[in-house]
Amino acid sequence: MPEVILLEDEPVLRQELGEFLEELGYAPLCVSSLQEFDQRFEPGRHRLAVIDIGLPDGCGLDLIQRLRQQGEKAGIVVFSARQTGADRIQGLSMGADHYLGKGCDLDELAATLAALVRRLDLPQPGASPAQPS
């Protein structure tokens, strides 16, 4: 099952998104700040990331740019209240794979993550890891 790191500072939304990801069959790790992301992110483990932009300790775009500069290949979805065309262009140019506005249909988030799972050739959500024989 794909592990997703979710960076969202708003507690209720973080919990709801974490539960939604679990229902889809992902294993979410929910964090609330850039500092916590840096402490808990494991590149070999967290192949998908859902990142908010406006955070209390900085900007999620800076995090995305830093991850890409470090060669990180994780699938990154921006999930932000900032959703003008210029915001989306900036997020994508900084290295996000997709940019979704908060308030979008959660089915769109599910489809976006499913597309990244296919592209990155990750295990399908809900799939059990292969057992050694």
What residue numbers bound the domain in which 35 lies? 3-119
pLDDT given for residue 128 in this prediction: 52
pLDDT given for residue 1 in this prediction: 83
pLDDT given for residue 62 in this prediction: 96
* CATH at residue 110: 3.40.50.2300
**3-class SS of residue 124:** coil
On the CB side of 39, CA atoms within 13 Å amount to 7
- 132 occurs within a structural domain: no
- Residue 11, C-beta contacts closer than 8 angstroms, at least 6 positions apart: 32
**Number of structural domains, the chain?**
1
Model confidence pLDDT, tens digit, residues 83-101: 899 999 999 999 999 999 9
- 49 occurs within a structural domain: yes
pLDDT given for residue 130 in this prediction: 47
- 124 occurs within a structural domain: no
- 131 occurs within a structural domain: no
Model confidence pLDDT, tens digit, residues 31-88: 999 999 999 999 989 999 999 999 999 999 999 999 999 999 999 999 999 989 999 9
- 125 occurs within a structural domain: no
- 128 occurs within a structural domain: no
pTM higher than 0.85: yes
pLDDT given for residue 11 in this prediction: 97
pLDDT given for residue 98 in this prediction: 97
Distance CA 110, CA 131 (A): 27
